[in-house]
Amino acid sequence: MNKNMEYLKKEKNMSKIIRTELLFAPLLIITPFIVGSIFIYEWYSRGFVTGVSSFDFEVVLGLIIIFGNLMFDIPFVKSLRRLSRENLEKKE
Amino acid sequence: MIKVKKTLEDTKKLINSIDFDAHWYRRVFHAFGASFLFYYLLPNDVDWIVFLKNWVPPVLVILAVTLEILRLKGKISSDHFFGLRMYEKNRVGSYVFFAIGVLVLIRFFPQQIAVPCILCACFGDPVIGEIRNHFDKKYVYVLGFLICMFFFMISWVKADVWLMIIVSVIGGLGAIIGETHKFWWLDDDFMIQILPAVLLLLIWFSASYFGLTLPGEIIVPSRMPW
């Protein structure tokens, strides 16, 4: 592995660190979806309904935020689930 | 009560059993940064929101810088900072560079420049990272350039066609150069945002001299009942 890609690791603090990650996970995953949805709602209520094209960028941005995040959220959640399963199996 | 206690213990056991995997965490953190574009949606005619718009971003950056100073001085252990890379142990963490870059953009650059640059840092950077992990280096430059160019293109779609093309190419080039040429003291998370922004600022000021039409605001502040 590339040296630049290595992360700081400390066994003794691992569980504390992982707990921090899990606590942050809902915020990191849910916030972009809320923000993206607000952008789309703004476009719908002020642009689409009234036929004003000035808000078109907002729907594009909303979709980019939602799908861009989804692209990384899925492997993130999968990696957490996979690792937890593997570790439980190892312990058993 | 016993059942709740057992569930809590099981959950704790499960959390403690998960190995260290910072890779996707960093990617998600990058993508999460796009949420800060909500800043542009906040209205400019409500006093308390304007106050928050003026003060919350610098306060967050000051907080991040303070934490980094304490970490580098050894007052806070690096162990408490999840997902730091090895080379960041004795250097300012990239999240600080990212935050400073976003703050500089929203404060000193027009949103037509700031928004695509922030998108490049939030989505371009992690996608380029993934391409780098899975494909040959030449694809990093080509695909990275195309992704960043796309963000500039959609942001400047309402400008003159020639201006949109020039901005997309220069912005895309600036972002990919900023991303691929990192220094020990200056992180690519900062460069991918600021380098294209500075190049585009030159175009911004010279466009009217050449009679080219600049795009208007791309995100219109909301009129939601705050």
State pLDDT tens for residues A46-88: 889 998 888 899 999 999 999 999 999 998 888 777 766 666 6
CB-nearest to B25 from A57, A60, A76 is: A76
How distant is the Cα of A53 from the closest Cα of chain B, in angstroms?
A: 10
d(CA B22, CA B201): 35
Beta-bridge partner residues of A7: B85
Residue whose entry in the numeric block shows the structure tokens 């058993």: A92
Question: How far apart, in Å, are the Cα atoms of B50 and each of A6, B39, B44, B102, B219?
Answer: 41, 10, 6, 18, 16
Q: Is the pLDDT of residue A1 over 60?
A: no
**B121 lies in some domain:** yes
Q: Give the per-residue pLDDT at B17.
A: 46
Residue B23 with chain A: CB contacts under 8 Å: 5, 7, 79
Q: Which helix (H) or strand (E) holds B11?
A: helix B2-17
Tell me the average pLDDT of chain B. Answer: 86
Average pLDDT over residues B54-81: 87
- Contact criterion met (CB below 8 Å) for B43 and B139: no
d(CA B56, CA B38): 13
Q: What angle do CA B33, B30, B181 make, to 5 degrees?
A: 120
**A14 lies in some domain:** no
CB-nearest to B14 from A10, A79, A84 is: A84
**A65 lies in some domain:** yes
pTM as predicted: 0.84
Q: How far is Cα of residue B118 from the mean position of the Cα atoms in its chain? A: 5
**B15 lies in some domain:** no
Residue whose entry in the numeric block shows the structure tokens 């900023």: B178
**A3 lies in some domain:** no
Q: How many residues does chain B have?
A: 226
In terms of pLDDT, which residue wins out, A62 or A17? Answer: A62
Q: Is the pLDDT of residue A13 over 60?
A: no
Q: Is the pLDDT of residue B47 over 70?
A: yes
Interchain CB distance below 8 Å, A29 and B28: yes
Residue A9 with chain B: CB contacts under 8 Å: 20
Percentage of chain B exceeding pLDDT 90: 50
Beta-bridge partner residues of B36: none
Tell me the average pLDDT of chain A. Answer: 79
- Contact criterion met (CB below 8 Å) for B121 and B98: yes
What is the DSSP code (8-state) at residue B213?
P
For A12, the closest chain B residue by CA position comes to: B79
**B215 lies in some domain:** no
d(CA A40, CA B22): 31
CB-nearest to B32 from A16, A20, A31 is: A31
Structural domain of A86? 23-91
State pLDDT tens for residues B10-21: 655 554 444 446
Interchain CB distance below 8 Å, A21 and B82: yes
- Contact criterion met (CB below 8 Å) for B181 and B191: yes
- Contact criterion met (CB below 8 Å) for A57 and B218: yes
**A6 lies in some domain:** no
- Contact criterion met (CB below 8 Å) for B207 and B182: no
Look at chain B and report how many structural domains it folds into. 1
**A61 lies in some domain:** yes
Average pLDDT over residues B70-74: 87
Look at chain A and report how many structural domains it folds into. 1
ipTM, two decimals, is 0.84
d(CA B81, CA B47): 36
Structural domain of B58? 25-210
d(CA B134, CA A42): 38
d(CA A34, CA A61): 13
